[in-house]
Amino acid sequence: MSGKERIARRIALELRDGFYVNLGIGLPTMITAFVPAGMDVTFQSENGMLGVGPAPAAGAADPDLINAGKQPVTELPGCSYFGSEESFAMIRGGHMDMSVLGAMQVDEAGNLANWTIPGKMVKGMGGAMDLVAGARRVIVAMEHQTKEGASRILKACTLPLTGTHVVHDIVTELCWIRVSAEGLVLTEVAEGLTPQEVQARTEAKLIVSPEVRTMAMVGA
Amino acid sequence: MNKVVLSADAAVADIASGATVMLGGFGLCGIPETLIAALVRLGVQGLHTISNNMGVDGFGMGLMLEAGMIASHVGSYVGENRRLETMVLQGQLDLTLIPQGTLAERIRAGGAGIPAFYVPTGLGTVVAEGKETRQIGERMYVLEHALHADVALVKAWKGDRLGNLVYRKTARNFNPAMATAADLTIAEVEELVEPGELDPDQIVTPGIYVDRVVVGAAYRKPIEAEFIRSGGAA
Check CB contact under 8 Å for A81 and B172: yes
What is the pLDDT at residue A218? 85
Cα–Cα distances (Å) from B216 to B64, B123, B127, B190, in that order, read: 18, 41, 37, 5
What is the pLDDT at residue A131? 98
For chain B, the residue count is: 234
Quick one: average pLDDT of B72-97? Answer: 91
Query: pTM above the 0.80 mark?
Result: yes
Identify the three-state secondary structure at position A145: strand
Quick one: average pLDDT of A76-102? Answer: 98
Quick one: average pLDDT of B149-174? Answer: 98
- pLDDT bin (cut points 50, 70, 90) of residue A220 is low
CB nearest to B101's CB, from A70, A81, A91: A91
- Is the CB of A120 inside 8 Å of chain B's CB atoms? yes
CB nearest to A83's CB, from B84, B88, B176: B176
Alpha-carbon distance of B204 to B210, in angstroms, equals: 12
What CATH number corresponds to the domain at position A79?
A: 3.40.1080.10
CB nearest to A47's CB, from B26, B75, B124: B26
pLDDT digits (tens, 9 = 90+) for A109-160: 999 999 999 999 889 999 999 999 999 999 999 999 999 999 999 999 999 9
CB nearest to A129's CB, from B127, B175, B223: B127
Check CB contact under 8 Å for B125 and A49: no
Q: Is residue A220 part of a domain?
A: no
Residues 84-113 of chain A whose Cβ lies under 8 A from any Cβ of chain B: 84-85, 87-89, 91-92, 111
- Residue A46 appears among annotated catalytic residues: yes
Alpha-carbon distance of B224 to B54, in angstroms, equals: 12
**% of chain A beyond a pLDDT of 70:** 100
Check CB contact under 8 Å for A81 and B120: no
- pLDDT bin (cut points 50, 70, 90) of residue B232 is low
Quick one: average pLDDT of B178-195? Answer: 98
Check CB contact under 8 Å for B175 and A47: no
pLDDT digits (tens, 9 = 90+) for A165-189: 999 999 999 999 999 999 999 999 9
CA dihedral for B41, B46, B49, B53, sign (positive or negative)? positive
Give kind and range of the element (H or E) at residue A6. Answer: helix A3-12
The type of residue at B191 is E
The type of residue at B187 is A
* Chain A residues within an 8 Å CB radius of B100: 46, 84, 88, 125-127, 130
Cα diameter, chain B: 55
What's the whole-number average pLDDT of chain A? 96
Cα–Cα distances (Å) from A105 to A111, A116, B198, in that order, read: 8, 11, 49
Q: How many structural domains are present in chain A? A: 1
**Domain encompassing residue A49:** 3-214
Domains recognised in chain B with CATH numbers: 8-114+146-215 (3.40.1080.10)
pLDDT of B230 above 90: no
Alpha-carbon distance of A61 to A55, in angstroms, equals: 8
Quick one: average pLDDT of B205-215? Answer: 98
Q: Is residue A25 part of a domain?
A: yes
- pLDDT bin (cut points 50, 70, 90) of residue B205 is very high
Beta bridge partners, B193, equal: B160
Residue closest to B104 by CA, chosen among A95, A91, A25, A116 = A91
pLDDT of B127 above 80: yes
pLDDT of B132 above 50: yes
Q: Is residue A159 part of a domain?
A: yes
Residues 184-213 of chain A whose Cβ lies under 8 A from any Cβ of chain B: none
Q: Is residue A196 part of a domain?
A: yes
What is the pLDDT at residue B225? 80
Quick one: average pLDDT of A50-58? Answer: 95
Active-site entry in A46, A108, A173, A188: A46
Alpha-carbon distance of B188 to A68, in angstroms, equals: 23
How many angstroms separate the CA of residue A112 from the nearest CA in chain B?
10
Q: Is residue A219 part of a domain?
A: no
Give kind and range of the element (H or E) at residue A207. Answer: strand A206-214
- Is the CB of A117 inside 8 Å of chain B's CB atoms? no
- pLDDT bin (cut points 50, 70, 90) of residue B234 is very low
- According to DSSP, the β-strands at A175-180 and A169-171 are antiparallel
Q: Is residue A176 part of a domain?
A: yes
DSSP state of A209: E
Q: Answer yes or no: are the C-beta atoms of A33 and A8 closer than 8 Å.
A: yes
* Chain A residues within an 8 Å CB radius of B85: 121-122
Residue closest to B48 by CA, chosen among B93, B81, B106 = B93
Q: Is residue A198 part of a domain?
A: yes
Quick one: average pLDDT of B82-91? Answer: 88
Q: Answer yes or no: are the C-beta atoms of B72 and A49 closer than 8 Å.
A: no
